[in-house]
Amino acid sequence: MRLTLKQLRALHVETVSGASLGHVHELTLEIDGQLVLQYLVKSSLFGNKEYLIGRDQVVRFEEKKMIVDDAVRPIEIENERKRLQVAQKAIAMSSHSPEV
């Protein structure tokens, strides 16, 4: 089976047990091997839940959906944003400190 990115993004994503997760929003590619490493799935247009799904968590593709492992859990978006903000502040502070 071959899919374009447009077709992939149109696929519904759900777990083996039938829980609806959303649709593929982004891909992470490993360029050297030309492989998909992970899929970022958002639960809606506004993405109130996000799931980072590794290629090893994909069970199968069907005609109109991608089936993933039941163990997939939402990303803790707020925690990730806070970590990013802290890292950005640390970088900004270190770039403003006088050199010795």
Among 27-31, 34-38, 45-49, the minimum mean pLDDT is found in 45-49
Q: What share of the chain is helix, strand, coil (3-state, %, to 5)?
A: 30, 35, 35
Is the full-model pTM beyond 0.85? no
Position with higher pLDDT, 7 vs 46: 7
Q: Per-residue pLDDT for 77 more than 60?
A: no
Q: How far apart are CA 48 and CA 5, in angstroms?
A: 22
| Confidence (pLDDT) at 14 | 95
Question: What domains are there in the chain, each with its CATH number?
Answer: 5-96 (2.30.30.240)
The contacts of residue 94 (CB under 8 Å, 6+ apart) are none
Beta carbons within 10 angstroms of residue 68's beta carbon: 22
Among 9-18, 40-49, 62-71, the minimum mean pLDDT is found in 40-49
Under the banding of pLDDT at 50, 70 and 90, the label for residue 23 is: very high
